[in-house]
Amino acid sequence: MAILTVLGIETSCDETAAAVVRGQPPGPGEILSNVVFSQSEAHAPYGGVVPEIASRAHLEILDDIIARALSEAELTLGEVDAVAATAGPGLIGGVMVGLTTAKALALAAGKPLIAVNHLAGHALTARLTDGVGFPFLLLLVSGGHCQLLAVQSAEDFRLYGSTMDDAAGEAFDKTAKLLGLGYPGGPLVEAHAARGNPRAFALPRPLLGRGLADSNRADFSFSGLKTAMRQLAQDKTISIDDACASFQAAVIDILQDRCATAMNMFAADFPGQDQPCLVVAGGVAANRAIGQGLAEVAGKAGFALRIPPARLCTDNGAMIAWAGLERFAVGASDPLETGPRARWPLDRKV
């Protein structure tokens, strides 16, 4: 199989990103450049991402970000093999900006267009960094998503469980807002939690202990935990460190429990693997305490644990470039008429 070089563009939320990667499946690949511009400062006054502000910012800066990515890779557009871009899911205005730009570049340079599912970008990052082989179990945990899936190929995903209400990352951001910590909330809550007592407050752990006999699923729920944090935050005398530590401990317990259920499902579906692998991806995967908790439960089940470096857990162009490379390597490409998608479940191809 030939070595491929792909330009990737990511604009699904509030990071404007472009990157160039080189390699071949299953990886590891080489990141030639990875330029990310975060809009956190622009959205901080609102306590969350404002879609119109995000799409306008993408439009204003994306050309420069792409130019920087190509320059740092010491390549011209004509020297890449394909142009990949997030086509969904995400904030539709932002997705449109990135996908339209990719179409223009592909058309002008005579290169194939690869429309990438943003979630697949997260899912396949462990192949870019560690060359993880198929199949593997994936915990995708971010601000907008919380899912457990078996990843059988770059386009074949089997869903074991998903959130019934809110995502873990959204719960982190909401908790930070309730406690007056600012935005983005995940790193702030983690920092305070490191100084607090995780047993200071008894918080709910929805669906904990719910096994296969109950639902044949490994679903999540975080709305009850968010409600409990809202009630706790009304007491202005509480220790912020203890509140954050107690919240984070509840999230870790939930993730451990749901992953243990999914590992049983994966082992039954894919028997005979010497050491199956649990991959954790998405922005929340950058949380070190969560990583330590999942390492514990994975070890007990005989699973290897792979978590990409923190800079590749949050949204970035390298993950989109690699996901595009994986698809292109097996002959896939997309017509210029391909449209953006606000919703695009990983376990559906269309």
pLDDT tens column, 250-303: 999 999 999 999 999 999 999 989 899 999 999 999 999 999 999 999 999 999
- 3: Cα within 13 Å, side-chain hemisphere: 7
DSSP 209: T
Do the beta carbons of residue 290 and residue 249 sit within 8 Å?
no
DSSP-derived 3-state class of residue 2: coil
Same fold, 4-123+312-329 and 134-310: yes
Confidence of residue 323 (pLDDT cuts 50, 70, 90): very high
Name the residue with higher pLDDT: 283 or 104. Answer: 104
Tokens of 344: 């695009």
Q: Distance between CA 76 and CA 78 in Å, rounded?
A: 5
Establish whether the linkage from the previous residue to 89 is cis, with ω within 30° of 0.
yes
**Does the pLDDT of residue 154 top 60, yes or no?**
yes
How far CA 19 is from CA of 80, 191, 199, in Å, comes to 11, 29, 42
What CATH superfamily is the domain 134-310?
Answer: ATPase, nucleotide binding domain (3.30.420.40)
Alpha helices in the chain (DSSP H): 40-43, 51-72, 92-109, 118-130, 168-178, 185-193, 212-215, 223-233, 240-269, 288-301, 310-313, 317-329
What would the mean pLDDT of 1-15 be, rounded to a whole number? 93
Which fold would CATH assign to domain 4-123+312-329? Nucleotidyltransferase; domain 5 (3.30.420)
Q: What is the pTM for the complete model shown?
A: 0.92
Domain boundaries, the chain: 4-123+312-329, 134-310
Residue 125: Cβ within 10 Å count: 28
Per-residue confidence (pLDDT) for residue 43, from 0 to 100: 67
What would the mean pLDDT of 136-155 be, rounded to a whole number? 94
Hey, what long-range contacts does 154-158 have (CB within 8 A, 24 or more apart)?
A: 154/25, 154/120, 154/124, 154/323, 154/326, 154/327, 154/330, 155/120, 155/327, 155/332, 155/349, 157/120, 157/123, 157/346, 157/347, 158/269, 158/347
* Closest-CA residue to 82 (of 1, 2, 8): 8
What would the mean pLDDT of 318-332 be, rounded to a whole number? 97
Confidence of residue 327 (pLDDT cuts 50, 70, 90): very high
H/E stretch holding 85: strand 82-88
Residues 33-79 pLDDT 10s: 999 998 766 766 666 677 777 788 889 999 999 999 999 999 999 99
Residues 192-245 pLDDT 10s: 999 999 999 999 999 888 766 566 789 999 999 999 999 999 999 999 999 999
Q: Distance between CA 17 and CA 37 in Å, rounded?
A: 6
Per-residue confidence (pLDDT) for residue 38, from 0 to 100: 80
Per-residue confidence (pLDDT) for residue 350, from 0 to 100: 38
**Does the pLDDT of residue 166 top 50, yes or no?**
yes
Please, what is the Cα angle at 250 between 233 and 118, to 5 degrees?
100
**Average pLDDT taken over every residue of the chain:** 93
Cα 243 to the center of its chain, rounded Å: 26
**Does the pLDDT of residue 143 top 90, yes or no?**
no
